[in-house]
Amino acid sequence: MRKPPRVVRALRREGRWLHRGPTGEVGTIHRQSSFEVVWVRKEREAIDPRWFEMSVVDVLVVVQGRLRVDFEDQKWRSRVLGPGDALVLPPGTKCRAYRWPRRSRRATIFVAIYPKGRVGRARGRGHSD
Residue 22 binned pLDDT confidence (cut-offs 50, 70, 90): very high
Residue 21 binned pLDDT confidence (cut-offs 50, 70, 90): very high
Domain CATH number, residue 22: 2.60.120.10
Answer yes or no: is 106 within a domain. Answer: yes
pLDDT of residue 3: 85
Answer yes or no: is 94 within a domain. Answer: yes
Answer yes or no: is 8 within a domain. Answer: no
> Could you tell me which of 11, 15, 9 has the C-alpha nearest to residue 29?
15
pLDDT of residue 117: 66
Answer yes or no: is 4 within a domain. Answer: no
Q: pTM of the full predicted structure?
A: 0.86
Split into its structural domains, the chain has a count of 1
- CA dist., res. 76 & res. 26, Å (int): 27
Answer yes or no: is 123 within a domain. Answer: no
Answer yes or no: is 34 within a domain. Answer: yes
Q: What's the gap between Cα 76 and its chain centre?
A: 19
Element (H, E) at 99: strand 94-99
Answer yes or no: is 56 within a domain. Answer: yes
Answer yes or no: is 1 within a domain. Answer: no
**Cα–Cα distances in angstroms (integers) from residue 102 to residues 80, 86, 94, 105, in the given order:** 12, 20, 21, 8
Structural domain boundaries enclosing 40: 16-115
Answer whether residue 84 shows pLDDT above 60: yes
